[in-house]
Amino acid sequence: MEISMTVNGEHVTADVEPRTLLVHFLRDHLALTGTHWGCDTSNCGACVVAVDGEPVKSCTMLAAMAGGHDVRTVEGLEKDGVLDPVQEGFMRCHGLQCGFCTPGMMITARALLDNNPDPDDHTIREAISGQICRCTGYTSIVRSVRWAAEHASSTPTEDTAEVTS
């Protein structure tokens, strides 16, 4: 079947089998491999992308269901060579270790900050509660999202802010 959608600001059309999952469409058809395929059961959250601005686990959504919608992957966070504050925060505050869950965490964080530009730690933890990180213990992820909220309007530079533990 033919599907069309907007992915990271670009209109795409492709022929896919009706049973193709969105995660496979993004990775296999569009070569957007930042979206990770983890558990296939919607437990881990590594596959989270934004569909019309809402975090969605792409391993449980058919690509056809995304037809006509706006999909944003981790590759769509950076604009013109400038990192999104969420990406900058994860880098500066060590919000990743192995990096497997990071793309989904970043997409979830971006959606949270788009709807709530000044979340407290509890709200951040609640937003990412559908995702599993086996490496960080979440403290550095929460700190990264908080950094992004505090620097949402600044242009990232090498000396934007000092990172605190």
Query: What is the Cα–Cα distance from 25 to 22, expressed in whole angstroms?
Result: 5
Identify the CATH class of 85-150. mainly alpha
User: What is the full DSSP assignment across 88-104?
Assistant: HHHHHTT--SS-SSHHH
Using a cut of 0.85, tell me whether the model's pTM lies above it.
yes
Nearest to 17 by CA among 38, 35, 31, 3: 3
Domain with CATH 1.10.150.120 in the chain: 85-150
Would you state the CATH architecture of domain 2-76?
Answer: Roll (3.10)
- Could you tell me the mean pLDDT of each successive run of 10 residues in the chain, 165 residues long? 97 97 97 90 91 96 98 96 96 93 96 97 96 90 97 58 46
